[in-house]
Amino acid sequence: MTHARILGAALLLASTAVGAQQPGTVATRKAEAGTVNWTSYNSDVKGSRYLPLDQINAGNFKDLEIAWRFKTDMFGSRPEYKLEGTPLAVDGVIYTTAGTRRAVVALNAVTGELLWSFSLHEGTRSAVSPRALSGRGLSYWSDGTKRRILYTTIGYRLISLDADTGQPDPDFGDKGIVDLKKDWDQQIDDLTTAEAGAHSAPAISGNTVIIGAAFREGFTPISRNNTKGYVRAFDVRTGKRLWTFHTIPKKGEYGYETWYNNSADTTGNAGVWTQVSIDADLGLAYLNVESPTSDFFGGHRPGPGLFGNSLVAVDLKTGERRWHYQLIHHEIWDLDNSSAPLLMDVTVDGKPRKVVGVPSKQGLFYVFDRATGKPVWPIKETKVAKGNVPGEWYSPTQPIPTKPAAYGRNGYLESDLIDFTPELKAKALETVSRYQLGPVYTPPILSTKDKLGVINNWAQGGTNWPGGSFDPETGIAYVYACGTCISATGLLPGPDGMTDIDFVVGVDGQPVSMIKGPGEGAGADSPAPPPAPAGAGAPRLAVNGLPLMKPPYGTISAIDVNKGAILWQVAHGETPDFVRNHPALKGLTIPRTGQSTYQIGTLVTKALVIAGENQVTTTPDHPRGAMLRAYDKASGKEVGAVYMPAPQSGSPMTYMVNGKQYIIVATSGGTSSGEYIAYTLPGKQ
C-alpha cells in the first residue's frame, strides 16, 4: 500500500493495487468478444437502466447461481448496513463504491477478485458530512486512450482516478482532487463543517462532468439560510469549473421575483441530489431540483420559489436555462424531486416524440417534450387545500398531470384503511380519529391534542432515489412505488437554540428533537452510531401490529409513455411475515401484499424487469432472506425468483463478459452488512 499526505495533515490518500495484470484485469483495454458493458450509473446518461441481453431469460432465471460475493466490511472503520451502490462494468472489470469510507474498488468481473482500491481519509470533514456511507455510485470516462473513474467523497470532493491503477490523475484539479466546497458562487466560511455532500454519481457527457449537491436528510434544519444547492460542471480532463447554475436565483436573474420579500437571499437547499440525465444530441442536461429549506414550513420563503421542485433543462456547454417546469409550487411536503429524468423516444398520436418522463414521490408521472419543456399531455393547475400554520404561504393550486393516471398512492382517505375484517377497519377508524386524512397536497397542520398531524406518505412514498427505468425499444417505463410508507406530520414552534425555523415537525405534548437521516454521522470517521431502539422497523401507525393502510404495500408499474397509460401493475415483494402469520388473519386468503420500502430500483433487459425485495421473509420455498424477482416486461407476470441472503439495498445492473451474462445487486440491512452479489447461469458458455 502506498500512502501520501496531501492537502494538509488531515487528509490521507490511500490506494492499493492487487495482483499482476492478467486478462480480465484493469490492464485489459480492448473489449473481448462477447463483452457488454454497463458504463454509467443508470447504464446510460438517459436514465434507462436497460441492456438488451437475453441469455438470462424467463425460462432460466430461477436457475441463477451466485458467481461471486464481495463484502464491503473492511473499507472503513466498521461495516456498512446501508449499501446503495450500483456498480459499473467496463471491459471485464467492475468498478464500485464500498464501505463507510466510501472507497472505490475495482474487481475482476468474472471472479470478484479485488484488483485495486482507493479511499480518502478526510477526518472531521467526513465525520460531520450530511451524506456519509458509500454513496450510490461513480462514473466512467474515456477518450480512447485515457480511462478515468470519477466520484465524490463523503467530504464533498470530486476525485478522478486512473481506471487501470486506481491512482489519482495528476492533471485533474489539485493532484487529482477538486474541492467542491470552493468556487461555488456562495460564501463558505468553514470548509470542514459547511453542510454539503453528494450521494449520486457524477453525470458525464463528452468532456463535461456535472455535479449536484445534497444536504441533511432530517426534517429539522438548523437554519433556513442553509447552503444553496447550486449545480456545477467541470472539465473532465482538468477539473476546471465550466459553469454554475443557480437553483435559487440571485438578484437580477430569471426567477428571483418568485421569491417574495427577497427570500431567495436567505433560503438554502434546492439541490440536485438525484441523478442528472443528459441528451447529448440536444446539448441539454436535465436537473431535477429538490425542495428549498425547510421541508414542511415555507413561511420564511413566500412565493412559488423557482427553481425549487422544478425540472430544469440547461445548456450542456454554458449551464444556461433553456426551459423549466415547476412540478410543485412552494413545496411544504418533503416531496423532493427524487428521481433521474427518463429520456425516451416514443410515438404519441402517430408522431415520433423525444420526451422526458419524471417519476415522483407523489406517484405522478410527468411527461414533457424534452426540447421545449411543453407537457405532452395537459397538466392542470388544480385547486388544493390551505393549512392552518401561522405565517405560512400557501399556493392555491398545484399542477397535476391528466395522463398517465397516478401509479402510486399519493394521499390517504378512509377508503385506504385496512379492511381485512370489519373489526380491523373499525380499529383503523378509531386510530385515525386523532389525525387528518386527505388527498395529495393536503398541507401540514399544527399539532394539537385533537389533531396530532396529517397521515401521509410524503417523505418516502411513490418513487424515491432509485428512480425508474425504461425500454428504449418500446417506450415503456417501469417504476416502483411505496404505497404504505406512512408518517404522521404535525408542526410545532421551533425551539430556541435548535433552529431558526418558526415551525418544525413535532407532536403535541412531546418535546421537539433534531431528526437525523439514516446515513448522517455514519461515516468511517464518525463515532459508532447507537444501537437501534427496541421495536425499530415495526409499523409506525398500525392496527394490532398490522399496517394501517390496506395493500398493496409496494408495486411495480409499467407505464406506456406512447399512450400515457398504465400497462400493468403488480404487488412487488412477498407478504411480510408479521402480516401472513398474524392471528387476526387466520383462515383468510390474503393475496400477495408487496412490501413497504422506498429504495427499490428496477433493471430492464430484453424481456425482463428485475427487482429484489427490501424485506426479509420466511416461506416454505426459501429460508429467511429476500428474493430477487423477474417479471415478463410485457405482461407483468412473475417468471422467476432466486434467493438473496439479505434485502436489496442498491439497484441491480447487468453485463456480459466472454459471452456470459451476470447480474449484480447490492444487499444490506438489519443484521446484514453491505455485500455485492453477482449471479449467473450454471456451467460454462
Spell 244-275 as b/e; 16+ CB within 10 A means b. Answer: ebbbbbeeeeebbebbeeebbebbbbbbbbbb
Higher model confidence: residue 69 or residue 515?
Answer: 69
DSSP E strand boundaries for 506-595:
542-543, 546-547, 554-560, 565-571
| Residue 342, all three cell numbers | 427518463
The CB density around residue 562, as the number of other CB atoms within 10 Å, is: 18
Instruction: With H, G, I as helix, E, B as strand and everything else as coil, classify residue 415.
Output: helix
Q: What is the mean pLDDT of residues 338-363?
A: 97
Residues β-bridged to residue 619: 622
CA distances to 20, 163, 511 from 145, in Å: 21, 11, 60
pLDDT at residue 9, as a whole number = 34
**pLDDT tops 90 at residue 17:** no
| Residue 284, all three cell numbers | 441539454
pLDDT at residue 610, as a whole number = 98
Strands 487-493, 445-446: pairing is parallel
Q: What are phi and psi of 53, to 5 degrees?
A: -95, 145
DSSP secondary structure code for residue 431 in this structure: H
Residues 6+ apart with CB under 8 A from 466: 339, 480, 599, 600, 601, 602, 651
**pLDDT tops 70 at residue 361:** yes
Q: Are 360 and 462 in contact (CB under 8 A)?
A: yes
**pLDDT tops 70 at residue 32:** no
Please tell me the distance from the alpha carbon of residue 138 to that of residue 223, in angstroms, as a whole number.
31
**pLDDT tops 90 at residue 27:** no
Q: What are phi and psi of 487, to 5 degrees?
A: -135, 165
pLDDT interval class at 513 (50, 70, 90): confident
**pLDDT tops 60 at residue 537:** no
Q: Which residue in 217, 202, 200 sits closest to 294, CA to CA?
A: 217
Q: Are 504 and 296 in contact (CB under 8 A)?
A: yes
Higher model confidence: residue 20 or residue 569?
Answer: 569
Q: What is the mean pLDDT of residues 73-94?
A: 96
pLDDT at residue 12, as a whole number = 66
Q: Which residue in 337, 39, 372, 368 sits closest to 205, CA to CA?
A: 39
Spell 203-238 as b/e; 16+ CB within 10 A means b. Answer: bbbeebbbbbbbbbbbbbbbebebbbbbbbbbebbe
- Ordered by start, the domain boundaries in the chain are 2-526+540-680
Instruction: With H, G, I as helix, E, B as strand and everything else as coil, classify residue 505.
Output: strand
How many CA atoms are closer than 13 Å to the CA of 182, on its beta-carbon side? 10
Percent of the chain with pLDDT over 90: 84
Q: What are phi and psi of 71, to 5 degrees?
A: -80, 145
pLDDT in tens, 242-286: 999 999 999 999 999 999 999 999 999 999 999 999 999 999 999
Instruction: With H, G, I as helix, E, B as strand and everything else as coil, classify residue 424.
Output: helix
Please tell me the distance from the alpha carbon of residue 139 to that of residue 87, in angstroms, as a whole number.
9
- CATH homologous superfamily, domain 2-526+540-680: Quinoprotein alcohol dehydrogenase-like superfamily (2.140.10.10)
Q: What is the mean pLDDT of residues 292-305?
A: 96
Instruction: With H, G, I as helix, E, B as strand and everything else as coil, classify residue 9.
Output: coil
CA distances to 27, 262, 329, 468, 559 from 399, in Å: 52, 25, 8, 21, 20
Q: What is the mean pLDDT of residues 535-549?
A: 74
| Residue 492, all three cell numbers | 410545532
Instruction: With H, G, I as helix, E, B as strand and everything else as coil, classify residue 471.
Output: strand
pLDDT interval class at 149 (50, 70, 90): very high
Alpha helices in 364-503 (DSSP H): 422-432
pLDDT interval class at 496 (50, 70, 90): confident
pLDDT in tens, 388-436: 999 999 999 999 999 999 999 999 999 999 999 999 999 999 999 999 9
Unique residue bearing C-alpha cell 486506481: 166
| Residue 591, all three cell numbers | 393475496
Q: What's the CA dihedral at 180, 181, 182, 185 to 10 degrees? A: 100
Q: Are 537 and 579 in contact (CB under 8 A)?
A: no
Q: What is the mean pLDDT of residues 16-37?
A: 54
DSSP secondary structure code for residue 48 in this structure: -
Q: Are 628 and 642 in contact (CB under 8 A)?
A: yes
Q: What is the mean pLDDT of residues 540-547?
A: 89
**Predicted TM-score of the model (pTM):** 0.95
- In the chain, count H helices and then E strands: 3, 42
Residues β-bridged to residue 12: 5, 121
**pLDDT tops 90 at residue 683:** no
pLDDT in tens, 98-119: 999 999 999 999 999 999 999 9
**pLDDT tops 70 at residue 533:** no
Mean pLDDT, the chain, integer? 92
Altogether, the residues listed in the chain come to a count of 685
**pLDDT tops 50 at residue 24:** no
E strand or H helix at 179: strand 177-179
Q: What is the mean pLDDT of residues 426-452?
A: 96
Please tell me the distance from the alpha carbon of residue 181 to that of residue 504, in angstroms, as a whole number.
28
Please tell me the distance from the alpha carbon of residue 299 to that of residue 284, in angstroms, as a whole number.
34
Q: What's the CA dihedral at 493, 496, 499, 501 to 10 degrees? A: 40
pLDDT interval class at 621 (50, 70, 90): confident
How many CA atoms are closer than 13 Å to the CA of 505, on its beta-carbon side? 21
Please tell me the distance from the alpha carbon of residue 171 to that of residue 292, in angstroms, as a whole number.
36
**Cα radius of gyration rounded to whole Å, the chain:** 24
Please tell me the distance from the alpha carbon of residue 415 to that of residue 432, in angstroms, as a whole number.
12
Q: Which residue in 59, 74, 201 sits closest to 653, CA to CA?
A: 201
DSSP E strand boundaries for 450-494:
454-456, 469-471, 476-482, 487-493
Q: Could you write out the DSSP letters of every residue in 332-390?
A: -S-----S--EEEEEEETTEEEEEEEE--TTS--EEEETTT--BSS-EEEEE------T
| Residue 587, all three cell numbers | 383462515
Please tell me the distance from the alpha carbon of residue 554 to that of residue 500, in angstroms, as a whole number.
37
Residue 405 CB burial class (10 angstroms; 0-12, 13-18, ≥19): middle
Percent of the chain with pLDDT over 70: 92
Alpha helices in 57-190 (DSSP H): 124-127
